[in-house]
Chains A and B, each alone.
Chain A
Amino acid sequence: MPPRTSPDAFRGNTGETPRNPEQREKAKKEVKQQLRTLMTAVNARDREQARPERDEKRLKEMNEQINKLESQTLATLALLLNPDGTLPDELQKEFTAEFSDPASREFVNNLLNGEATRLGTDAENLGREIDGRPVTSNAGHVMGRIESRVSDIVDGFIQNSGLLGQLSDRFGIPEQALAKQLQQVRPFVMNALRGIFANIADNFKMVPGAQEFAIRARLESTWQPLLKLKMQNPNTPVARAIRAFPGGPDALKEAYVNALIGQATERSLAAQAGQPTPTTQVTLESVLGLASPAPGSPAPAPSATEQTAKKEAAGANRPLGANAETIQEMAMTFSNGEFRVQKGSDTFKALPKHGTEAAVVTEVTPVRPATGQVENLTIKTRKGTEDLTKTVRAADIKTALEPSGNKRVVVDNVTYEFTRV
């Protein structure tokens, strides 16, 4: 058979050579496709042959990048965070927006409520076990959950904002390597976030007790640097006192938290009572019993033990409720306009009435859900434009919710009917 390209082939001897324009066009396309396929194979072989050399080069580049990256970690961090360790406005906004969302707020509220309880606005609760778990581990657990959520937000921000791309361009580092590096940087970021979260908790004033939570959160983020700073010179009185503190640094941290909470509590109580804000300032030194007043400065803060004793004496270890009575084994929540009390395995919802007309609960103080205890409450209700604020005794609620109780508490002309949920 003659070759397909010979004139004979064209004359139709083979029957394969395209003789009309359509056939030729089709044949051209087929040939082009064959060329492309061959081109791909040639390129693949080239790459294969070049791999060891390229890998070596790549490895060298990667090493250089890693070295460069190590020295640039702080720069990277500086780009991600503001110089004071706070988040950039953009992320801050996103973070704030996240917690402005009612569902997220509720989530955080629940965490904070539980947390505030467990951290114990009562100093006496700290260090005790609740539900078989140490209070501090509960705190860590809740903080972990918050951080996990925050972490998702940060991840989303990093991925969606193009920040990774910008950093990659700036440093000439592959995004993947950079992402890995940012993972290592994450603990720093999370520490900063703890502080930010605390600020947000404060700003939103989501629940009474957030302040206590915020104190702990802030201390969590600053404790190690503070300790390091104070221990920098091991011969200073403060360094010696830290070393000698019974129970070690963890115990000192707890004592410091207690003291700070006590300070906040006193200020809070003073504000509630319309008294001047106490000028005592808790410091690590004051907790260690080292603080001495500088001329014109406030008096030294009492030690943690002194503070606790003082608070107990003043009944101040119930900082948010100025009332004395506390009923154990009852818990309450106030969320989305619903005031609920849990007693044993039963949950009751309070339905207020002004006289005979239905009203709504608008405020409950203190809000202390899942506490296992209910204090005397200040409950604010509204019917139309009429607001009534009443103090409801915990003992009355308990009696009303007993199996034989009438599920009703009446204070003046306001009736709180409790219906089982």
Chain B
Amino acid sequence: MDTDSLRRKVAESRLLTERERGYWLQKLPTMNQEQLMKLDRILTEALGIVWSEQMDGYLKMIDRAASLCQQQLVPA
């Protein structure tokens, strides 16, 4: 298990609170392989959720922008 990669995931995870991040970073050296793999899987799953959320926001922003453009194009 690549602990460096997992450490990065923990550090960058947007789902974790700062406290949780601190906890996992502290615990990583003492966790066994199975626990490390489980954490990696959970954080990967979490990444998908946050990514989805960001993409959703992005699409909504485009949608709003498109609406605004349409309103601008309509003759008064």
Interface presence of A35 (CB below 8 A) = yes
Q: Which of B5-64 contact A (CB under 8 A)?
A: 15-16, 20, 23, 27, 30-32, 35, 38-39, 42, 44-49, 51-53, 55-56
Asked whether A35 lies within 8 Å of B20 as measured between CB atoms, the reply is yes
| Contact stretch, chosen from A3-11, A86-94, A209-217 | A3-11
Q: Identify which of B30, B39, B46, B52 contacts A46 (C-beta below 8 A).
A: B30
Please give, as numbers and ranges, the residues of chain B lying within 8 Å of A38 by CB-CB distance. 35, 38-39, 42
Please give, as numbers and ranges, the residues of chain A lying within 8 Å of B48 by CB-CB distance. 4-5, 9-10, 17
Interface presence of A18 (CB below 8 A) = yes
Asked whether A5 lies within 8 Å of B55 as measured between CB atoms, the reply is no
Asked whether B51 lies within 8 Å of A45 as measured between CB atoms, the reply is no
Asked whether A5 lies within 8 Å of B32 as measured between CB atoms, the reply is no
- The interface size of chain B toward A, counting residues with CB under 8 Å, comes to 23
Q: How far, in angstroms, from A34 to B46 measured CA to CA in the complex? A: 11
Asked whether B35 lies within 8 Å of A42 as measured between CB atoms, the reply is yes
Q: Which of A9-29 contact B (CB under 8 A)?
A: 9-10, 17-21, 24, 27-28
Q: How far, in angstroms, from A4 to B52 measured CA to CA in the complex? A: 11
Interface presence of A39 (CB below 8 A) = yes
Of chain B, the residue at the smallest CB distance from A35 is B42
Of chain B, the residue at the smallest CB distance from A20 is B56
Q: B34 CB to closest chain A CB, in angstroms?
A: 9
Q: How far, in angstroms, from A20 to B60 measured CA to CA in the complex? A: 12
Q: How far, in angstroms, from A3 to B51 measured CA to CA in the complex? A: 13
Please give, as numbers and ranges, the residues of chain B lying within 8 Å of A18 by CB-CB distance. 49, 52
Asked whether B32 lies within 8 Å of A45 as measured between CB atoms, the reply is yes
Interface presence of A31 (CB below 8 A) = yes
Known: A3-B44, A31-B49, A46-B30. A41 touches B15 (CB 8 A): no
Q: A175 CB to closest chain B CB, in angstroms?
A: 31
Please give, as numbers and ranges, the residues of chain B lying within 8 Å of A46 by CB-CB distance. 27, 30
In this complex, which of B16, B30, B45 has the most chain A Cβ atoms within 10 angstroms of its Cβ? B45
Of chain B, the residue at the smallest CB distance from A3 is B44
Known: A41-B35, A42-B27. A24 touches B53 (CB 8 A): yes
Asked whether B46 lies within 8 Å of A19 as measured between CB atoms, the reply is no
- The interface size of chain A toward B, counting residues with CB under 8 Å, comes to 25
Please give, as numbers and ranges, the residues of chain B lying within 8 Å of A31 by CB-CB distance. 15, 42, 45-46, 49
Q: Identify which of B30, B42, B47 contacts A34 (C-beta below 8 A).
A: B42
Please give, as numbers and ranges, the residues of chain B lying within 8 Å of A17 by CB-CB distance. 48-49, 52
Asked whether B55 lies within 8 Å of A24 as measured between CB atoms, the reply is no
Of chain A, the residue at the smallest CB distance from B55 is A10
Asked whether A19 lies within 8 Å of B42 as measured between CB atoms, the reply is no
Q: How far, in angstroms, from A42 to B47 measured CA to CA in the complex? A: 22
Of chain A, the residue at the smallest CB distance from B39 is A38
Q: A15 CB to closest chain B CB, in angstroms?
A: 13
Asked whether A28 lies within 8 Å of B27 as measured between CB atoms, the reply is no
Please give, as numbers and ranges, the residues of chain A lying within 8 Å of B27 by CB-CB distance. 42, 46
Q: Which of A337-387 contact B (CB under 8 A)?
A: none
Please give, as numbers and ranges, the residues of chain A lying within 8 Å of B39 by CB-CB distance. 35, 38
Please give, as numbers and ranges, the residues of chain B lying within 8 Å of A39 by CB-CB distance. 23
Q: B7 CB to closest chain A CB, in angstroms?
A: 15
Please give, as numbers and ranges, the residues of chain B lying within 8 Å of A10 by CB-CB distance. 48, 51-52, 55
Q: How far, in angstroms, from A67 to B10 measured CA to CA in the complex? A: 48
Please give, as numbers and ranges, the residues of chain B lying within 8 Å of A49 by CB-CB distance. 30
Q: How far, in angstroms, from A39 to B38 measured CA to CA in the complex? A: 11
Please give, as numbers and ranges, the residues of chain B lying within 8 Å of A27 by CB-CB distance. 45, 49
Q: How far, in angstroms, from A18 to B53 measured CA to CA in the complex? A: 9
Please give, as numbers and ranges, the residues of chain A lying within 8 Å of B15 by CB-CB distance. 28, 31-32
Q: How far, in angstroms, from A9 to B42 measured CA to CA in the complex? A: 16
Asked whether A5 lies within 8 Å of B38 as measured between CB atoms, the reply is no
Please give, as numbers and ranges, the residues of chain A lying within 8 Å of B53 by CB-CB distance. 24
Instruction: Given contact pairs A35-B16, A45-B31, enumerate 6 new A-B contacts (beta carbons under 8 Å).
Output: A5-B48, A24-B49, A31-B42, A31-B46, A45-B32, A49-B30
6 pairs, CB–CB < 8 Å, chain A vs chain B:
A4-B44, A5-B51, A10-B52, A27-B45, A28-B46, A35-B42
Which A residues are closer than 8 A to B by beta carbons?
A: 3-5, 7, 9-10, 17-21, 24, 27-28, 31-32, 34-35, 38-39, 41-42, 45-46, 49
Report, nearest first, the 7 A-B pairs whose CB atoms are least far apart: A5-B48, A31-B46, A34-B42, A27-B49, A5-B47, A4-B48, A10-B52
